[in-house]
A and B are shown apart, each in its own frame.
Chain A
């Protein structure tokens, strides 16, 4: 008896790619990224406790173009995971499962995360003057 020709349930290679699928996997990816970002948070706190020299290393990293790029990535990942996390909490209450609500929520999360990232960096550059 062969089992090869049995029908398969739909899976990732068969589904038509959809906008909401991208948001779903991005929630995981930003979550893993932000978990890595806690290393930077702990480095900052430990350096502050260790003294001015150690703290200078953190400041040097953040001032470097690569450090800025990393911080820009964390800023967007944070606002994205925050907004989409709130979307998940709303789903946990049993609301928002209609198709249209799903798409509207996806757009709100995408636009919110980009807008707040830009706002945070405008404030940051406004504070230190460039």
Chain B
């Protein structure tokens, strides 16, 4: 016999009030990164010899630019979710733990913004 209310059962949230959002987001970004990261590595192999102009031309191609933005969002979201779990597992001081998680999240957002801005600047002919 369950003592939970029907609403509580439907929402599926435990005492952490978070449910499975973190776990699920890590899986969704992982699945997205399988094709995106493989595409990027193959693309990089083709750019090994490339001078600046050739690299810019590759980044500026609309398909590559769109996939690069998708890659940046997925990889940085996935990375900060993973770093959060590692910090939660190994950093036991409450203050240091919260500070570490915030640094990981802020860094991911700043790096993502810088990367997306760079792709868009190149794409729009900067």
Contact = CB atoms under 8 A, between A and B. Distances in A.
- How big is the B interface, by class? 35 or more
A88 B27 CA distance: 9
Interface string A46-89: 10110110011000000000000000000000100010011011
B17 interface: no
B66 to A, nearest CB: 14
Nearest to B49: A128
Interface in A81-130: 82, 85-86, 88-89, 92, 120, 123-124, 127-128
A41 interface: yes
Contacts of B117: 49
12 contacts: A35-B80, A35-B82, A41-B115, A45-B122, A48-B55, A49-B121, A55-B52, A82-B38, A92-B27, A120-B41, A124-B48, A128-B48
Nearest to B117: A49
B49 A34 contact: no
Interface of A: 28, 31-32, 34-35, 38-39, 41-42, 45-46, 48-49, 51-52, 55-56, 78, 82, 85-86, 88-89, 92, 120, 123-124, 127-128
Contacts of B98: none
Interface string B104-126: 00000001001101110110001
B65 to A, nearest CB: 11
A27 to B, nearest CB: 10
A123 B49 CA distance: 12
A31 B82 contact: yes
A48 B56 contact: yes
A55 B55 contact: yes
A45 B46 contact: no
